[in-house]
Amino acid sequence: MNSRFHSDKNIWSLLKRNVSKGQLMGYVLSNALGLTVVLTGMMFYLDSSHSSDKNDSFFSKDYVVVSKKVNGVGFSPVSFGKDEIDRLEQQPWVKRTGRFTSSRFAVNGAVDIGGRGLSTYMFFESVPDDFFDIKPRDWKFDPAERFVPIILCKDYMALYNFGFAAPQGLPQISEELACAIPIKLRVSGNNMMSETFDAAIVGFSSRLNTIAVPQDFMDWANERYAPGAETNPSRLIVEIDRLAAADMSKYLDKENMEIGGDMSGDGNISKFLSTASAVVTANGIIICALAIFILVLSIFLLLQKSRQKLHHLMLLGYTPAEVGAYYERLVVTANTIVTLAATTATLLLRQTWETPLKEIGLGEASVIPMLACSMLYLLAVTAVNIRIIRHHMTLIWNNG
């Protein structure tokens, strides 16, 4: 056993004389650089596509409200037809759509604030529950209980406190207090006498610019106070793929549609980030491909240079697999060093963009896809190298 060990050691000392340390070092450095660029581009893409704060992201208006543009003065309701909705849902940046249902009856709301009664005409809308950014309890309507829960847009509360209350001598109120104020609703339509409902604000939405009520109340009330008056939706709420926001803007302009808020820059910035990541990754792939080509070429030259030595060893009783194992261990070691170095460098480089991305609500994506990619690279490249070595050893054994 000891004799065999020394024999193997002497054989490797003989074979490694033809191994060019310069070529091997060049392969390791160039391949580590290329793989680092690939993994860095991949990690940056994952971070720039991942919202770390779903409620406050610089890009991520994942939900937008779409409406038709109103031109001039028109008395016919501006709404979406079925064909328009179908075409919109077929766009690649659309994940799903929800329809706003508008009230087709008259509503008057009255409250008592600081001893002063206020009343105003109101409007209601409803959307599918999945599109709300809040999930209040008891978000339902039972005709027997005569109570209507309401979700109010946060901006409406700000308008009351800072634009309406002070000039009118009314107190400013918090959201918590607003939810505790009872509301009396008077609803009428269909030539019926007005009916009274109790109501209260149960939450405030940052996503929906409306006064929202449960869908079951809207369906019940429209059927009761405006039967048979079906209308197309005037607004849609759309869940979008924010990386395609630039294409969305072009489509909406062409279809004479518009969205609430300003997203004109979001799509351009996110498109720039995804393009930059793709360019970086492509450059890394090119560098890796060249490095692998250098290694393959080096292996051919090395085996060709050692052809006589390898053949003599095989004549002494060593199998092609035993002789080739020395070179296989060499490429496994080199590729492992490359993978570990590139992965470590990528994790270090990630720290340079983590903080800036967190400030705009992005980042903190999982590193598992990047680690899986580096491991897949190690296995694939090593398998190719070993196959080449074994194939060449077989040729030497057969042809001498």
- Nearest CA-CA partner of 99 in 84, 114, 110: 84
Q: Give yes or no for a contact between 205 and 132, defined as CB atoms under 8 angstroms apart.
A: yes
Provide the pLDDT confidence category of residue 80 given band limits of 50, 70 and 90: confident
Express each pLDDT in 305-320 by its tens digit.
656 655 555 555 566 6
Higher pLDDT, 260 or 308: 260
DSSP-assigned states of every residue in 247-311: HHHHHHHHTTEEESS--HHHHHHHHHHHHHHHHHHHHHHHHHHHHHHHHHHHHHHHHHHTHHHHH
The pLDDT, as a whole number, for residue 43 is: 83
pTM above 0.85, yes or no: no
Express each pLDDT in 118-131 by its tens digit.
788 888 999 988 88
- Domain regions of the chain by residue span: 2-55+268-399, 63-263
